[in-house]
Every structure is written in structure tokens, then in C-alpha cells.
Amino acid sequence: KREDHPVSYIAPDYAYPRETIEELLGKGGRIANEKMDGCDYWWFETGGMADTIREAQEIGLELKRFTAGVWDYIKNSGRYDADCLTLSWEGNMPGKRESRRFITKKILTQQDILEHRAFEDGAFYGGWYLDFHPSHGFKTEEDNCTQIPVQVYAVPLGCLYPTCDSNLLFAGRDIGVSHVAFASTRIMNTCALSGQAAGTLAARCIELGKRPGDLAAEEIQGVQQTLLRNDMMIPGIRYHEEGDLAQEAIVSSSGAECRGALGETGTFSLSDGGILVFPRRAAGTEFLVESGQTTEVSYQCYRSDVPSRLALGSRLGTMKTVIPEGKSWISFPIPEGVADGFITLEFSGNQSVSFVTGEEQLTGFLLGREDSPQYCYPCLKLPDDCGLYGESNVVNGYNRPWREPGSWISGPAFGEGGEFPWIRLDFQEPRTVREILVFFNPDLSRELNSSRASMWDDHHKFLPRTGMPPELVKSAVIYGILPDGSRREIAVLEDNWNRTWRALPQDGITVTGLTLEIRGTYGARRAEVFEICVY
């Protein structure tokens, strides 16, 4: 913490001497300076070669010696602008990475993750790197961590309980995984998802009077459907819960996006290469590029289930195309017979060629570089009749991108045509509605961390969230179409900041249809909805 006056620091006798700290810093990427915050000091680690259960106190004291030594070096070595800095907080309990391992019905392995295997009892997902830290901690001569990017993968319910006759559930860091798989599943976001899965499983077991290992296949599917309804992502599992009236409805809308993103704002140079992501269903999309000369660009093609700048997916081969001099619309060929998913083109460097960029994002399209978390959006023309963002997407069983964008995006921008974008569900006969669940888009194309990345050092390469996502719906109204043909307002949303909107008409309402009218977003010129469920 920076004060407005100098603050002295006298290191305790047990602190590591400055000479030792100077020798340790810089090795394996270990960095310390007066501008960094606690998140940047995650590499303050030791104990990997000790017994982390029986020697926890000694490990904690060693970390205190090291912490005091680093702070003394920052404050008193004369190398930093630290005269007015004071230490505001220091942890007292060492955080264990792993100690005991629990044996569950299913042990998730390295191969499961790297091959993103599907599981019939998939319950939640992971996606963090296989992130290995050296066992010798801050004294190691190795790099301070090795991070292998992985694609989004499923974790099965079987990792949450041990045997058929057990009534015990695991959640968090103690789920059933191998040492290598643990390097990915251990992070807090994934631990939180395991808690949601375990809680949902526990509730269903109590309801059925069964132990976790005794659930039949259809009962496990019931757990999955409950999780999906509560906004869990289970890779490859489609939502199809009984009682969802939206599944039987006829869907119509004010129009669906079919043109593309045409407004120009700048350029993205391929001088250092780059990656372009688009849905396979939109192969044939034309992108606006400009070049100082007629030239050939080469690129590697990859396919993945969700976009990722780090885990590009399965390699499909090398392609080339000619870019004429000047500004032109170009379609980039991909190999034939590719399954639905997201295509990533990895371009080699070309000093002459740039993509023309715009301010409008269409879900599923990204332009950027593997080594940078900063994305931009290409100017593009969608193929005729590709139907990528049609209204039927709101009842397709996916409430986020999976092998295609999966959302409805309205056609006319707000204010065009004198009406707000709307989407309507019509039932074949009157239905009594007691709950409506709508899933919006808080920008699910880009990878975004959940922590305060704006405070971190640039080498972490994560995109900080600043402000509200432009695509997120800010205000909306749901109308009920009554049996006599009249329309009644049944739910209003204002100043929304959630991805999901759960509307509960008081005592239910009998309708022949429902209309969702989008009144505003946080900046996007189009309305976007992933899924609508009605009960």
C-alpha cells in the first residue's frame, strides 16, 4: 500500500538475507517489484518435496522467511521506488495444492482432458491449463510453471463419489482426479462448478432415497437436466427437460441477423501473424481485407468445439489463398468434410496484408493473436441463407456456444423500423405459464478471467473486464398473448446485470403465446438471446 509519507521497514532476524533474495529473483521467470500486487506473487511456493500434512508448520515458517526477505529487498535494496510503501496484508496459513488423493468411481485423467472425452454422466466442465508448478518452489532452477493449454472438457459425476455403497460426496480440490488432471481441475472456478454439481446430485439422492452410485441412467440424466436449467455448461449435453413448453412452441421473431458486420473502424495487420475464428456453418463468409500488393497468405486450419486462442483444436491441414492488391472481400477455404464446430485459421506473418476491423461483434467470430488476450472483430459478410443466428436457436437445447454460436441475434438495429426487436413463442393450445427462463449473452466468445486482472502484470495475458458487456441485454419486457388475442405485460426487466432472467408470473397465467421484447443493451446494436425455457 502506498502512503503519502515514507515508511521504514526493519526485517526480522528470521528473514532471508537480501543477497539470497537477489540470487533467487529472475530465475525461472520469478519477478518481484514495487508495482506488483498479491496475485502476481503466486510463485511464493515451497514444500513440494516435504510432507505437506505433517510438516505444514515448518513450510509456513519457511514461506514467512521468504516473504519477509522479498519485502526487505523491495523496501531496502535501493532498486525500487518503495520509500512510501507499507505492507498491508500477509497470509498466515500456507495454501495446499495437494496432499491426499481420494479414489472415486471415476478418476479423471490426463488423457480424458487432452482428448476432451465425453461422459454419459458429465456434470460440469473445466478448461484451465494443465498447470504444473515445480516441486522445489521458489528455490527451483526450472521455469516457475509449465502451462499446457487444453480445450473445454467434461468432468463426470463419477468423480464426486467413491463407491456404490457410499453416501459421501466430494467437491472442490478433493474430487477424483489424477495428479496431472488435478493441475487443471484445482482452480477456484472449476471447484465452484463441482460444488454446484455435487449439491444438485445430493438433492436428487435425497429426493429419490438413493445413494449416488445407485442412480439409474435416467436419474443421472435428471441431475444433468437440472444442472443445465441452472446455467451449468456440460460439454456435449443438450437441454431437453420434460415440462419445458418452449420445446413445443412455434418460434418467430422480428428478424434474424443475416448480413454480417459491415462498419469499418480500423485494421489488424498480419505482419506478426494472427488467428481468425469463425463457425464451420459460416464457411464461405467473406472478410474485408486490404493489401499493399498481390500476395499469397498461408494458414493452418484447426477445428474445436468452442473458440480458444490457446487450444486451437484438431489440426486440419495447411491452406493458401491469394489476396489482391487493394481492398477486397475474401473467403478463406477450409478442408472439405469438417464437422460442425469452430474453425481457427492460424496465419503466417505477412507484412502486406491486414484485416479491416469493426466495432460490432458477432458471436463466434474473433480476430487476434495467440500470444495476446486482446481481440478485435472483423468486418464480414455472412453467406446467403446460412441461418446462423435464426430464432430457432432459442429452443435448440444449448444456452451458450457449443459447435456453433447457438444464439438468436436480431436483424434490424434498435430504432430501425420503429420497433424493438422481439421473439415470440406460440403454443398450439392455451398453456398455464408459471416460470419463464431467458439466457442472455455476457460476451461468451472471448476468454475472460474472473479475477481483477486490471491489477496484474502484463505477462499473465488475460483480458480484464472493463465495464458491462455490450451484448448483454439491459432491459426487456415479456408479454403474454391471452386466449382472446389480447396482449398483457407479465414481466419487466430493468438495469439487468445477470446472464439469466427468471420471470415468475404471479399465480401463473394462461396464454396461447409469449413475446420477449428487447428494449436495450449495454451498447450492441442488435439484441441477442441464447435460450428461452417456459414452465
**Whose grid coordinates read 519477509?**
68
| DSSP-derived pairing of the beta strands 377-378 and 250-253 | unpaired
For the stretch 1-33, pLDDT in tens is: 899 999 999 999 999 999 999 999 887 778 888
Supply the pLDDT for residue 415: 59
d(CA 504, CA 497): 18
For the stretch 183-236, pLDDT in tens is: 999 999 999 999 999 999 999 999 999 999 999 999 999 999 999 999 999 998
Average pLDDT (503-523) is: 94
Supply the pLDDT for residue 419: 84
Q: What is the dihedral of CA 369, 373, 374, 376, to 10 degrees?
A: 60
- Whether 444 has a pLDDT exceeding 90, the answer reads no
CA distances from 186 to 126, 306, 318, 373 (A): 9, 21, 36, 23
- Whether 76 has a pLDDT exceeding 70, the answer reads yes
Reduced to 3 states (helix: H, G, I; strand: E, B; else coil), residue 392 is helix
Average pLDDT (73-102) is: 90
Average pLDDT (296-302) is: 96
Supply the pLDDT for residue 375: 85
- Whether 52 has a pLDDT exceeding 80, the answer reads yes
Q: Rg of the Cα trace of the chain?
A: 27
Average pLDDT (489-516) is: 95
| 362, 257 contact by CB (below 8 A) | yes
- Higher confidence at residue 308 or residue 237? 237
For the stretch 408-418, pLDDT in tens is: 999 866 655 66
Supply the pLDDT for residue 38: 73
Supply the pLDDT for residue 18: 96
- Model confidence at 89, pLDDT cuts 50, 70, 90, reads confident
